[in-house]
Amino acid sequence: MPSIKSVVKRSGAIVPFNPERITNAIYRAAVEVGGRDRSIAEGLAQQVVQMLEAKTPPDHIPTIEEIQDVVEKVLIENGHAKVAKAYILYREERARLRRERASRVSRPSENIPWAKIWRALDWAAAHGVHTVAGLNERIARGEFPEIVREAEAAYNEDVENAAEMILARRKDLKIVIITGPSSSGKTTTTIKVGLRLKQMGFNMVALSVDNYFFDLELHPKDEFGDYDFETPQALDLALINQHLARLIAGEEVRLPFYDMKAGRRYDDRTPMKLGPHDLILIDSLHGLFPDMTKDVPDEQKFKLYLEPLLQMKKPDGEYVRWTDLRLIRRMLRDAVHRAYDPRRTLEHWHYVRNSEMRNIIPHIHETDYIVNTGMPFELPLYRPRLLDQFAQWETLYHNDPLREDAYTRAKRVHAMLQAVTPVEDDAPVPRDSVLREFIGGSSYTY
């Protein structure tokens, strides 16, 4: 047992010292540079603990920063330069984000599509749903079905625009990538775009990158046993890139199959070869991550990015956060389709958000078109489904230093849902709506 019992977090909270967190941090950095041997990470973590114990005075509680300094030193001294670099870069990036949040930087973020945001806000204002108060007023007048029709029309116009842009490039294109952060509506939008392109004469061939996951035992996880599927390194990026390049060259490849229940991948299972008029359709969280398609020329790829760009101001003067919408969506979807406890989704969301900020959001301006999947009628439907649970989670995680992220999100979402007029009946929502992917009742098979 280590002699160090506690550690000081950056917030000042004192929490139990858990050496497993050091192992996980080292292993995560190793995975980023291609390492998959957890036993090495465990050995290095033991050295970190030993060094900490040797240099920490008996009356001193080490800080997170002090522990990270020792981790860097151990990695470098043991010759793991690439892992040390990945660890240092991640640490510096997190520090930069904290500084920006603390200083409330006034310059616009480079990761936000401002032109698209302006159009979304202009649309919301024109339809009286740019504030929660305005939304509630329209619901009080019995206009909920009209709000649904108006929002669905705007979304379907975006889908049609994307299909027309793909059609204009049909001579050069080989791959259509539909991407975006978790629960942005990729599955439904992929189906809709695929159907529209089929009407235009394309033969769409879906390639599921979920079959390229590494075996579960090779994934990073935290001290709670929660595996991180959100990082692009959870996928065999090199194999995906290789197969795409070979398919486009006219070769046959044998695709892998991933058994989700067993957490194991089986290679060389399904033969695939493109015909002269085939177009590969990829629905992937990490479709913009460079290593996934680096050997495919840009002119052969169409990259479609999705995000619920809802522009609605809450009573507290803040806008509804897109990440909160997607958190709720994923809770509902996971509960319906994956028998996954919504509370676990909340506890896991820090993985989701960290990966988005590192591996997805920075590439948003590399896309060819952005589809807004945010619907102003979402919140009234979410309130009766999850309001009470968010209230319970806010209480549960209060003053829990190990679940600060879950508490902050639960408190914010609870207040947001409280401000919205609830709508119990989802009958006005079309069966092919992107929202049906999350609330159920879709005419599509997922």
pLDDT (tens digit per residue) in 118-153: 999 999 999 999 999 999 999 999 999 999 999 999
> Same domain for 99 and 210?
no
Residues of the chain above pLDDT 70, percent: 94
DSSP annotation of 183 reads T
pLDDT digits (tens, 9 = 90+) for 282-318: 999 899 999 999 999 999 999 999 999 999 999 999 9
Residue 445 domain-assigned (yes or no): no
Instruction: Indicate the DSSP class of residue 44.
Output: H
Question: Are residues 214 and 329 both part of a single domain?
Answer: yes
- Per-residue tokens: 109: 């973020």
Q: What region does 369 belong to: left with phi over 0, alpha with psi -120 to 50, or beta? A: beta
* Statement to judge: residues 250 and 118 lie in one domain: yes
Work out how many domains the chain is built from and give that number.
2
Q: Are 372 and 435 in contact (CB under 8 A)?
A: no
Lowest mean pLDDT among 61-65, 82-86, 416-420, 441-445: 82-86
Examine residue 446 and state whether it is found in any structural domain, yes or no: no
User: Sign of the C-alpha dihedral, residues 439, 443, 445, 446?
Assistant: negative
Check whether residue 215 and residue 305 sit in a common domain. yes
Query: Which residue has better confidence, 388 or 91?
Result: 388
Residue whose pair of structure tokens reads 């879906």 in the numeric block: 206
pLDDT confidence of 380, banded at 50, 70, 90?
very high
Asked if residue 349 is part of any domain, the answer here is yes
For residue 98, how many other CB atoms are within 10 A of its CB?
11
Same domain for 154 and 242, yes or no, is: yes
Same domain, 355 and 214: yes
Same domain, 203 and 330: yes
Amino acid sitting at position 136 = N
What pLDDT, on the 0 to 100 scale, is given for residue 276?
84
* Residue 272: pLDDT over 80: yes
Q: Is residue 98 part of a domain?
A: yes
pLDDT at 112: 79
| Percent over 90 (pLDDT), the chain | 58
Q: For 236-254, how does the pLDDT look when each residue is reduced to its tens digit (9 = 90+)?
A: 999 999 999 999 999 999 9
More confident residue, 196 or 335: 196
pLDDT band at 103 (very low <50, low <70, confident <90, very high): low
Query: Are 57 and 3 spatial neighbours (Cβ–Cβ below 8 Å)?
Result: no
Q: What share of the chain is helix, strand, coil (3-state, %, to 5)?
A: 55, 15, 35
Distance from the Cα of residue 165 to its chain's centroid: 26
Burial tier of 103 (Cβ tally within 10 Å: 0-12, 13-18, 19+): exposed
The pLDDT of residue 431: 97
Q: Are strands 14-16 and 6-8 parallel, antiparallel or unpaired?
A: antiparallel
355/426 same-domain check: yes
Domain boundary among 103, 129, 161: 103
Q: Residue 325 corresponds to which tokens in the numbers above?
A: 């919408």
Q: What is the average pLDDT score of the chain?
A: 90
Contact criterion met (CB below 8 Å) for 414 and 407: no
Residue type, 27: Y
The domain of 152 spans 114-439
pTM for the model: 0.81
Q: What is the separation, in whole angstroms, between the first and last Cα of the chain?
A: 48
d(CA 377, CA 145): 9
Q: Do 93 and 216 fall into the same domain?
A: no
Q: Is residue 74 part of a domain?
A: yes
Any residues with CB less than 8 A from the CB of 318 and at least 6 apart, and which? none
Do 61 and 138 belong to one domain? no
Helices (H) and strands (E) in the chain, counts: 14, 9
Kindly provide the b/e burial profile for residues 133-154, where b requires at least 16 CB atoms within 10 angstroms of the residue's own CB.
Answer: ebbbebbeeebbeebbebbbeb
- Say how far apart CA 270 and CA 254 lie, in whole Å: 5
Give the model's pLDDT for residue 437.
95
Q: Which of 79, 103, 127 is the last residue of a domain?
A: 103
Which residues in 275-301 are b (16+ Cβ under 10 Å) and which e?
eeeebbbbbbbbbbbeebbeebeeeeb
CATH number, domain at 430? 3.40.50.300
Clarify whether residues 141 and 43 are in a common domain.
Answer: no
Query: Does a structural domain hold residue 1?
Result: no
Average pLDDT of span 321-335: 94
58, 80, 103: which is the final residue of a domain?
103
Does some domain include residue 109? no
Does 97 lie in the same domain as 34?
A: yes
**Is 237 a member of any domain?**
yes
C-alpha span between 246 and 243 (Å, rounded) = 5
Q: What was the pLDDT predicted at 98? A: 63
